[in-house]
Structure 1
Amino acid sequence: MKIYIAAPLYCDYEREYNLTIDELLRKNGYDTYLPQRDGGVVSEMPDYIDGIPKDRYVFEKDIAAMNSCDVFLFLLDGRVPDEGACVALGYFHGTRKPAVGLKTDSRTLCQGLDNLMIRMALNRICTDKGELLQYLAELSR
């Protein structure tokens, strides 16, 4: 099963956490697409790749990856969910494939809940890594 990992990736802490989750999934037998590794970080890329503007290049590469993945994982920690990951979730929801969130952070938008558009697009929100692995195992059956 291949998992697309959607998460913020704009500082060292975020990238390190993303790599930690990626490593956990791979150690448990899952294939992953991690945008910071497999798609590229726009701020670190030349303006054009193969004659294509870097923004378009990364966008198309990530869309193709979502189409090829079986499950979408949204890392939800942070004061607010990452905007790019929200757009990716909306796209992935249209594929009708399973999407899961991992949220270990207690901060929420309002009244103890996250935005309803995010909650309703996710099949489940896990609150720790163990619960995430258990849910992914259920999806693999």
Structure 2
Amino acid sequence: MQIYFAGPLFTPYERDFIAQAAARIRGEGIEVFVPHEQPLPEEVTPKAVFDKDAKGLFPANALVALLDGPMIDDGTACEIGLFHGMKMQGDDTKKGIIGLVTDTRSIGSEGRPLEGKGLNLYVRGCIEEIGEVVSDLDDVVAILKRWQAELA
């Protein structure tokens, strides 16, 4: 199974968190495409960045999206929409989207993401139509392992 890990990647903290999460998922035998781990082209243009990331997104079986922050990263929201569209076109190899929220401003006392707290409701609805929003990496791994078994 191959997943695409979407999320903001503009600070060392964001990149480090995504890299650690990807390493944990890889430890479960799941292939993970992380955009910031891919070398940038010599000329960084919008097309070059799109083409580089599309090589990971389009063949992926699932999408994990880091949703932390005061609002969802715009590139992440775009990747969520693209993946949703591929799934809705009837591609059975596309299992779904998992939104990961670890931002305590958006998590309730039960440890679950709160409705409407930092998460655009339309994007959340897009995710939940074909997946789940969770607040723990263990939940991400459990869902991915279930989807991996379904693909086998």
Asked whether the two chains share a fold, i.e. TM above 0.5, the reply is yes
TM-score of the pair, normalised by structure 2 = 0.78
Report the equivalent of 1:15. 15
Match for residue 121 of structure 1 among 113, 126, 133: 126
Residues 17-41 of structure 1 show CA distances to partners (whole Å, capped at 9, x for unaligned) of 111111111111110110001263x
The structure-2 alpha-carbon separation of the partners of 1:68 and 1:39, relative to structure 1 and needing over 3 Å to count, comes to: farther
Report the equivalent of 1:2. 2
Residue 137 of structure 1 pairs with residue 145 of structure 2: yes
Aligned partners of 1:84, 1:100: CA distance in 2, in Å? 16
Deviation at 1:120, TM superposition (A): 1.6
Deviating beyond 3 angstroms after TM superposition, the runs of 4 or more aligned structure 1 residues are: none
The structure-2 alpha-carbon separation of the partners of 1:69 and 1:39, relative to structure 1 and needing over 3 Å to count, comes to: farther
Give unmatched runs, 5+ long, in structure 1: none
Aligned partners of 2:121, 2:34: CA distance in 1, in Å? 25
* Amino acid aligned to 2:99: G
SS at structure 2 position matched to 1:107: helix
Deviation at 1:64, TM superposition (A): 2.8
SS at structure 1 position matched to 2:98: strand
How large is the RMSD of aligned CA atoms in angstroms?
Answer: 1.7
For these two proteins, the number of residue pairs brought into alignment is 130
Report the equivalent of 2:97. 99
Aligned partners of 2:36, 2:5: CA distance in 1, in Å? 10
Aligned partners of 1:112, 1:100: CA distance in 2, in Å? 16
Deviation at 1:54, TM superposition (A): 2.7
TM-score of the pair, normalised by structure 1 = 0.84
